[in-house]
Amino acid sequence: MKNHRITFNEFGIPAEVAQHEEIDTSASRVLRPGEVRVAIQYAPINPADINYIQGNYGIRPELPTIPGVESVGIVTESTADTVSESDLVIFISRVGTWQSEVICNAVDLVVIPAIPLQQAAMLKVNPLTALCLLVNFVSLTADDYIIQNASNSGVGQSVIQIAKIMGVKTINLVRREELIPELLELGADHVLLDDANVVEKVKEICGENLPKLGCNAVGGDSALRLMDAIATEAPHVTYGAMSMRSLKVPNKFLIFKRIQLHGLWVTKWLEANDHATISAAYHKLAGWVAEGMLTQSIDKIYPPAEISAALTHAGEGKRSGKILLEFQ
């Protein structure tokens, strides 16, 4: 058998430096106690993966290395009491998931209920980020409003759906008008163009019940519009920087409006919580997926041999969903 894997030996343009390799696994090593062998099924290409290969992510690895922050796999062998053969698993530690087979410790993964494999491959990052945004920074109740930018992203779509489950109303900002109908169909309460008129439109929608949470994945002027639109003392949480522009916060938002500035990196949430808490969060998310209440769109699926084309596609702005790699 062959282990298909993606590696890179230098930082740079992902489509140019990422390489597909085939490794003979006939002499694959024997598992140590507490280890698990997993056959990777699908792995998405996330912005974090692109930044990781570029060398400008929060973690800078020693090279060469195998990228991949999330995936779904099926256990083919286990020496751990908590994991059994045929279990469906996702990884909560960075193990380099862009390869056909992974050997890791049982504590590096979570067993999840049976859900569609392609959706399971995208469970780790976007849905958990959305859940953390909605429950970790402010207590939201039914009919409260929240506002977010980059609403058509994987996190944005997850925020819309989880907020709907919670009974929370969403105001969703997008950069292209053609994105509005699909987000309304997904369950968004309001979808607005992310322009200079946003704040006035939000006030017309909400009246005195201004959004109690702002979720920022863009930065720059878009982040400032969120600050202007949210309620006094509301949290403004940055979890991405798609515009690559830093936040320059006007004093009035801090002095008179007293907004709360926070950052969220789901990697740190995973590091800060015990395995039982993490498992419970993913079981909740997987349950919503199983019930058809939480889904993420997929644009195209590529084999690992076409990694250059896959990375080029993933870097394009106008996509209708995630790019996945299929390893089995």
Residues belonging to the active site: 57
Beta-carbon contacts of residue 186 (< 8 Å; ≥ 6 apart)? 157, 160, 161
Q: Counting beta carbons within 10 angstroms of the beta carbon of residue 262, is it exposed (0 to 12), middle (13 to 18) or buried (19 or more)? A: middle
Question: Which residue, chain included where needed, has tokens 């702002």?
Answer: 214
- Asked if 33 contacts 16 with a C-beta cutoff of 8 angstroms, the reply is no
CB-facing half-sphere around the CA of 270: CA atoms within 13 A: 20
Euclidean distance between CA atoms 225 and 230, whole angstroms: 9
